[in-house]
């Protein structure tokens, strides 16, 4: 399903550059209208989209059945097929998610800062939409609706490349969205799919400077890597999480047990789940048996280094590969470190800079950890599962950025906007 | 002097990849120390740099003489040679500019937002340095000192590629900076030049993901374009300005004359100078003679379309090329438009989205212009020359961003920082 695998997929003939850029021209034009659409108009369109998704549930599920049949014939994994599947219940979930976005504050027009200069010129920095937001993702039809709705609420046109595996489903979903937009007076062209342009279309989208203002990849690490390295349009990297918890010498046992179990077991398949546990040597004998014992009861496979296995023998020996692995499953790598420096060094080397947490009662170590660990979210005595737009109170989550430019950590709707300066004068010139 | 022209310049032999990445490793290590250096330590280093620049003025000027001699032999233009020249007086100016940066507030550690969740978990988003900031520029030794000082104050290590034409000067400047850093206890490796790695070093810098957190190109449109399209590391585009002023039908004559003259004549070589004047057809006969007459008195060459020449015959006929040209000289393109829509369409087509201003007394048209023109800075009744970090009160100007990601318009020190979330709990887990 990745962009690279698609190289072997059948394409729909030669790439039609004129048709491709004609679509992007429509997106640019739609973005102009969206930029000045007020919140009421955008909310009405979102409500219409939710309605129409439910009204067209049979068509959507039928198109999805085509994709599923093709996926089964192509030998897609059970996990991929599950992500690809839309049932009537899941379509209801999509419609509900769109209505949730209606409830979130519109970031467009928000005044970020402002002042009046001594000469009377007034400056105001306000949030404005990016313009055209592109998304590249894989076999997840829910992302089609999700990104379209988030883009619309923040005043952006959306150009979607949802991958060949979900092409039939996405075609129907986008048609439904376009119909609802047109019905409520916004341009139907505000949301486009470019799936029909195949792999070449995706590659072209990544280099469509002047048409696409922002590109968001969603999916496998490989897909994100391809988009980040191939794109000349600005990208927001929503990244993988090789997430660490450090048990300091002074860590409370109850907090250590609760937090590590919550971070590993509550939802192991997500990016904020812990993957590696680092334990201070002075606390290994005290903490590892209860912490790892609780995990084993929950079905977790422990992959531990030599020193950890000395106090918790019932573990698989860890290899160097384990430190760099985002399991997204009930597996945990465990390592004993001599001190906080060694823990921080390990994190610097292996972390994807998503989230790290330390369990400690030592104020100095807590402060050092917060200051020296260079990740999007750095925690003391809390579960890494809190790194989430919903938990942070953003209402919707566009993704979790692991890059440093523009947005870092959980992204809400304001992160789908840029700003511009409005300058109001009365004849002033520069002296 | 551009990256592309350098293709024919002699190189210093094969690219030494190990030596190149050893330098970048030093930069990463230095960035760690800088990230937790307090403001007093960074300010002391900046003061030492200013001192040492003055103490080594003879060496700097001597090295610069070598570059100038080479530049003259290579046939550099007078303009380039002037930019390349460092006199004792200009070195004093560099030292003064460094001291100016001491006076600016340190953005690192600033709390951007924060809150306590219902479960007692406290969230705080704080500004942190990017880490390693790269800069690619051409034959401007002042940028070496400027970027190094801005990077240091914002807690970033700097890796500089200043181009072969200024190589000797930059080598001495960087050595002076490194000495001052080491003398005050910060890593000397906080500022590196990679000029010795030639053109290949610049290309490698653009793709050094994992080493370089942010890349800032400074120089010609061609250089910026190369960096933007070739880089896989995040870039901030500081762009060219094809800047427009619109004279609406209701524009006051005195404001039109004053603002257009100020925007064109005060400093024609900078990016916020106006390049194209668009005039409402109903006001052309009233406004063009006084506005263009005043410009001609100041030595401006008028390049006008047919309709503008009908009311101001003493103008060169404009060609389509004029609308897309950033003259950076005493030239102005002038066009008559039928209405505000035509003016906005012209701007959408030809603007580099830097700055546009309308002179008008019509409230509705002012509001439409502010809402519909998609540029970093949009003005009503003010000179485009106000688009400037100093004028905006930022204290220092890193550049003027014409991109929409991360920063837009004049950039101050905060734009050289990222953020991270600090999460402080007391045993909380996610329910």
Kindly indicate the confidence band of residue A270, based on its pLDDT and cuts at 50, 70 and 90: confident
Residue-wise pLDDT tens digits, B345-389: 999 999 999 999 999 999 999 999 999 999 999 999 999 999 999
Q: Which residue has the tokens 């002179």?
A: B359
In degrees, rounded to 5, the angle at the alpha carbon of residue A48 between the alpha carbons of residues A45 and A54 is 145
Give the residue on B whose Cα is nearest the Cα of A233. B229
CB contacts, 8 Å: A380 with chain B: 423-425
With an 8 Å Cβ cutoff, are B404 and A377 in contact?
no
Out of A36, A228, A424, closest to residue B380 by CB:
A424
Q: Which of B370, B373, B375 is nearest to B408 (CA)?
A: B375
Q: What distance in Å separates the CA atoms of residue B403 and residue B418, rounded to the nearest whole number?
A: 17
Q: What distance in Å separates the CA atoms of residue B67 and residue B162, rounded to the nearest whole number?
A: 12
Domain C-terminal end among A182, A199, A230: A230
Report DSSP state, residue B185.
Answer: T
In degrees, rounded to 5, the angle at the alpha carbon of residue B167 between the alpha carbons of residues B164 and B172 is 170
Classify B25 as helix, strand or coil.
helix
With an 8 Å Cβ cutoff, are A378 and B423 in contact?
yes
What does the pLDDT read at residue A285?
Answer: 98
In degrees, rounded to 5, the angle at the alpha carbon of residue A31 between the alpha carbons of residues A28 and A33 is 120
CB atoms inside a 10 Å sphere around CB B88: 12
CB contacts, 8 Å: B262 with chain A: 429-430
With an 8 Å Cβ cutoff, are A406 and B409 in contact?
no
Cα separations in angstroms, B47 against A13, B37, B57, B107, B177 = 64, 15, 16, 18, 11
With an 8 Å Cβ cutoff, are A423 and B386 in contact?
yes
With an 8 Å Cβ cutoff, are A423 and B374 in contact?
no
| In-domain check, residue B47 | yes
Q: Are residues A343 and A261 in the same domain?
A: yes
Classify A71 as helix, strand or coil.
helix
CB contacts, 8 Å: B36 with chain A: 371-372
Residue A376, min C-alpha distance to chain B (Å): 5
Residue B12: pLDDT over 60: no
Q: Are residues B342 and B284 in the same domain?
A: yes
Instruction: Mention every residue, 6+ apart, whose C-beta is less than 8 A from residue B177.
Output: B49, B52, B145, B148, B191
Kindly indicate the confidence band of residue B2, based on its pLDDT and cuts at 50, 70 and 90: very low
Percent of chain A whose predicted confidence (pLDDT) is above 70: 97
What does the pLDDT read at residue A51?
Answer: 98
Cβ burial of A79 (10 Å; 0-12, 13-18, 19+) is exposed
- Chain Cα centroid distance, residue B98: 17
Give the residue on B whose Cα is nearest the Cα of A33. B372
| In-domain check, residue A187 | yes
CB contacts, 8 Å: B374 with chain A: 35, 128, 131, 420
Q: What distance in Å separates the CA atoms of residue B429 and residue B83, rounded to the nearest whole number?
A: 59
Out of B379, B408, B430, closest to residue A391 by CB:
B430
Q: Are residues A382 and A316 in the same domain?
A: yes
DSSP string, A332-377: EEEEEESSHHHHHHHHHHH--SSEEEEE-S-HHHHHHHHHH--SSE
Q: Are residues A208 and A340 in the same domain?
A: no
Average pLDDT, integer, range A155-173? 96
Residue A7: pLDDT over 70: no
What does the pLDDT read at residue B397?
Answer: 77
Kindly indicate the confidence band of residue A334, based on its pLDDT and cuts at 50, 70 and 90: very high
Give the residue on A whose Cα is nearest the Cα of B405. A406
Residue B393: pLDDT over 90: no
Angle between the B363-372 and A17-35 helix axes, to the nearest 10 degrees?
140
Residue B313: pLDDT over 90: yes
CB contacts, 8 Å: B254 with chain A: 427
Classify A158 as helix, strand or coil.
strand
Domain C-terminal end among A352, A369, A386: A386
With an 8 Å Cβ cutoff, are B424 and A259 in contact?
no
What does the pLDDT read at residue B9?
Answer: 40
Give the residue on A whose Cα is nearest the Cα of B32. A372
CB contacts, 8 Å: B125 with chain A: 409
What does the pLDDT read at residue A13?
Answer: 59
Residue-wise pLDDT tens digits, B58-78: 999 999 999 999 999 999 998
Average pLDDT, integer, range B203-230? 91
With an 8 Å Cβ cutoff, are A404 and B130 in contact?
yes
Average pLDDT, integer, range A223-237? 90
| In-domain check, residue B196 | yes
| In-domain check, residue B392 | no
Residue A236: pLDDT over 80: yes
Least reliable range by pLDDT among A102-116, A229-243, A275-289: A229-243
Pairs across A and B, CB distance < 8 A: 202
CB contacts, 8 Å: B367 with chain A: none
| In-domain check, residue B195 | yes
Q: Are residues A101 and A24 in the same domain?
A: yes
With an 8 Å Cβ cutoff, are B409 and A424 in contact?
no
Q: Are residues A254 and A334 in the same domain?
A: yes
What does the pLDDT read at residue A415?
Answer: 94
Classify B341 as helix, strand or coil.
helix
Residue-wise pLDDT tens digits, A307-322: 999 999 999 999 999 9
| In-domain check, residue A146 | yes
Q: Are residues B270 and B127 in the same domain?
A: no
Residue-wise pLDDT tens digits, A365-399: 999 999 999 999 999 999 999 999 989 988 777 88
In this prediction the ipTM stands at 0.91
Regarding predicted confidence, which is higher, A202 or B3?
Answer: A202
Q: Which residue in B110, B230, B411, B420 has the most chain A C-beta atoms within 10 A of its own C-beta, making it the best mutation to test that interface?
A: B420
Residue A146: both structure tokens together:
């999700």
Q: Are residues A207 and A278 in the same domain?
A: no
| In-domain check, residue B289 | yes
Most confident of A218-222, A237-241, B121-125: B121-125
Residue A155: pLDDT over 70: yes
CB contacts, 8 Å: A405 with chain B: 214, 234, 236, 405-406, 418
Total number of domains in chain B: 2
What does the pLDDT read at residue A390?
Answer: 87
Q: What is the CATH number of the domain that holds B331?
A: 3.40.309.10
Residue A177, min C-alpha distance to chain B (Å): 25
Q: Are residues B218 and B248 in the same domain?
A: no
Least reliable range by pLDDT among A328-332, A397-401, B86-90, B401-405: A397-401
Residue-wise pLDDT tens digits, B169-178: 999 999 999 9
Residue B225: pLDDT over 60: yes
Domain C-terminal end among B230, B262, B289: B230
What does the pLDDT read at residue A218?
Answer: 87
What does the pLDDT read at residue B222?
Answer: 87
Average pLDDT, integer, range A13-24? 92
Kindly indicate the confidence band of residue A14, based on its pLDDT and cuts at 50, 70 and 90: confident
Q: Are residues B126 and B180 in the same domain?
A: yes
Q: Which residue in A350, A423, A427 has the most chain B C-beta atoms within 10 A of its own C-beta, making it the best mutation to test that interface?
A: A423
| In-domain check, residue B179 | yes
Residue A383, min C-alpha distance to chain B (Å): 5
With an 8 Å Cβ cutoff, are B234 and A380 in contact?
no
CB contacts, 8 Å: A414 with chain B: none
What pTM was computed for the model? Answer: 0.91
Mean confidence (pLDDT) of chain B = 94
Angle between the A167-183 and A39-55 helix axes, to the nearest 10 degrees?
130
What does the pLDDT read at residue A1?
Answer: 34
Q: Are residues B179 and B317 in the same domain?
A: no
Q: Are residues A183 and A49 in the same domain?
A: yes
Out of A32, A255, A408, closest to residue B427 by CB:
A255
Residue A390: both structure tokens together:
């919903």
Out of A254, A408, A421, closest to residue B376 by CB:
A421
Torsion of CA B77, B82, B84, B85, to 10 degrees: 140
Expressed as residue numbers, the domain containing B304 is: 243-386
Residue A220: pLDDT over 90: no
Residue B250: pLDDT over 90: yes
């Amino acid at each position: 399903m990745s962009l690279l695998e698609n190289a072997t997929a059948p394409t729909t003939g030669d790439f039609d550059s004129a048709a491709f850029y004609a679509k992007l021209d429509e997106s640019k034009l739609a973005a102009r209208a969206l930029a000045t659409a007020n919140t009421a108009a955008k909310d009405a369109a979102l409500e219409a989209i939710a309605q129409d998704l439910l009204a067209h549930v049979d068509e959507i599920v039928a198109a999805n059945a085509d994709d599923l049949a093709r996926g089964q014939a192509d030998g897609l994994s059970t996990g991929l097929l599950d992500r690809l599947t839309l049932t009537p219940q899941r379509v209801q979930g999509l419609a509900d998610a769109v209505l949730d976005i209606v409830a979130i504050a519109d970031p467009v027009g928000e005044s970020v800062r402002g002042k009046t200069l001594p000469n009377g010129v007034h400056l105001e920095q306000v949030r404005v939409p990016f313009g055209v937001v592109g998304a590249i993702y894989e076999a997840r039809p829910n992302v089609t609706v999700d990104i379209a709705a988030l883009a619309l609420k923040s005043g952006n046109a959306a150009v979607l490349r949802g991958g060949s595996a979900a092409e039939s489903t996405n075609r129907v979903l986008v048609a439904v969205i376009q119909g609802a937009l047109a019905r409520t007076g916004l341009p139907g062209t505000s949301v486009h799919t470019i799936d029909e342009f195949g792999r070449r279309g995706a590659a072209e989208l990544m280099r469509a400077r002047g048409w696409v203002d922002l590109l968001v990849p969603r999916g496998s690490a490989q897909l994100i890597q391809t988009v980040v390295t191939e794109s000349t349009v600005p990208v927001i990297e929503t990244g993988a999480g090789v997430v660490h918890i450090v048990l300091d010498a002074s860590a409370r046992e109850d907090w250590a047990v609760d937090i590590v179990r919550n971070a590993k077991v509550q939802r192991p398949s997500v990016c904020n789940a812990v993957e590696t546990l680092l334990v201070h040597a002075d606390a290994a004998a005290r903490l590892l048996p209860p912490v790892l014992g609780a995990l084993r009861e929950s079905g977790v496979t422990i992959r531990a280094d030599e020193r950890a296995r000395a106090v918790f023998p019932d573990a698989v020996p860890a290899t160097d590969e384990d430190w760099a692995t985002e399991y997204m499953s009930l597996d945990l790598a465990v390592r004993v470190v001599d001190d906080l420096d060694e823990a921080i060094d390990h994190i610097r080397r292996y972390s994807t800079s998503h989230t790290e947490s330390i369990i400690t009662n030592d104020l100095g170590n807590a402060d050092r950890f917060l200051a020296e660990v260079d990740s999007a979210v750095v925690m003391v005595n809390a579960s890494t599962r809190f790194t989430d737009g919903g938990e942070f109170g953003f209402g919707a989550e566009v993704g979790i950025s692991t890059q440093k430019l523009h947005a870092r950590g959980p992204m809400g709707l304001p992160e789908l906007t840029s700003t511009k300066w409005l300058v109001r004068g009365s004849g002033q010139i520069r002296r």
